[in-house]
């Protein structure tokens, strides 16, 4: 593929528009990625023709991560106050979902990931301090980082969605290197928390035929199960990862030696 073809098929550039809910449906494991940025008015999440459902979560579960200022998500009449980096798992069967910002001039920015669900689990609020934090990497390798697991089998339970985010330490730029694939799950990456003037070079493709996508803040990369998913930035950054597919085992991956990357 050319640069433009690769970006067209695997990069989502259109999210986080003001006062709107934007979503994209991907045939790979039927994932939906989207955003809600409420400003002047609350934003209700409705169904879409592609789902053939009475309401969005009739047959789906939904993960939410707030990367903006304080807001609220109201699920079937229960309000959840969402600070920056707060997450929310919304279970199958939840009928009414409404997003609001506390201050329209400093809006919440809700990132959304949804997968089909065959079982219902409780809607659960998640704060960073309660998440499973896994430190990895080192300063000499320029990849010191902390993985925060929000929705996973040992934390907030879900049907198939696994979700969290990774923060790189100041001065570190590499993530997921050496890379890996996990044939039983696909993954969605949303890069954020770095200046508009900076970029992340997301590496994808087969290990011996890699490609890269240059990613700006708040853009999303669709990573198929056969592809590596690594990245290097012009400075430190954070990214939200979300997975769904055959299983939920976080460590079920096939490692790739750096010497085998082409």
Maximum pairwise Cα distance, the chain: 54
Domain ranges across the chain: 12-126, 128-260
Name the pTM for this structure.
0.95
19 vs 39: CA distance, rounded Å: 5
- Rounded to 5 degrees, what are φ and ψ at 182? -140, 100
| pLDDT score of 147 more than 90 | yes
Superfamily name and number for 128-260: Jelly Rolls (2.60.120.10)
Parallel, antiparallel, or unpaired for β 31-37 and 110-116?
Answer: antiparallel
Which segment of 98-102, 137-141, 182-186 scores lowest on mean pLDDT? Answer: 182-186
Q: Which band of pLDDT confidence, cut at 50, 70 and 90, is reported for residue 183?
A: confident
Give CA 70 to chain center in angstroms.
Answer: 19
Compare 260 and 215 and report the one with higher pLDDT.
215
| pLDDT score of 180 more than 90 | no
Is 12-126 in CATH node 2.60.120.520? Answer: yes
Q: How many CB atoms lie under 10 A from the CB of residue 39?
A: 16
Query: Could you tell me the two tokens for 114?
Result: 């949804």
């Amino acid at each position: 593929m050319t640069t433009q073809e690769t970006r067209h098929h695997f990069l989502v550039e259109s999210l986080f528009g003001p006062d709107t809910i934007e979503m994209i449906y991907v045939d790979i494991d039927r994932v939906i990625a989207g955003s809600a940025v409420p400003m002047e008015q609350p934003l209700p999440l409705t169904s879409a023709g592609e789902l053939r459902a009475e309401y969005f979560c009739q047959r789906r579960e939904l993960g939410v991560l707030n990367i903006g200022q304080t807001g609220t998500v109201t699920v079937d009449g229960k309000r959840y106050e969402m600070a920056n980096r707060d997450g929310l798992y919304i279970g199958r069967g939840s009928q009414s979902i409404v997003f609001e910002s506390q201050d329209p001039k400093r809006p919440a920015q809700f990132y959304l990931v949804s997968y089909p669900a065959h079982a219902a689990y409780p809607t659960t609020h998640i704060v960073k301090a309660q998440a499973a934090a896994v430190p990895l990497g080192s300063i000499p390798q320029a990849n010191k980082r902390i993985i925060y697991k929000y929705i996973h089998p040992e934390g907030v339970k879900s049907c198939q969605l696994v979700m969290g985010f990774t923060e790189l330490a100041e001065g570190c730029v590499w993530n997921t290197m050496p890379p890996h694939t996990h044939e039983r799950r696909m993954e969605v990456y949303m890069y954020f928390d770095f200046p508009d003037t900076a970029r992340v070079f997301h590496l994808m493709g087969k290990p011996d035929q890699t490609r890269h996508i240059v990613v700006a803040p708040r853009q999303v990369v669709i990573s198929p199960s056969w592809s590596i998913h690594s990245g290097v930035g012009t400075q430190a950054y954070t990214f939200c990862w979300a997975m769904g597919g055959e299983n939920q085992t976080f460590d079920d991956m096939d490692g790739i030696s750096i010497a085998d990357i082409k």
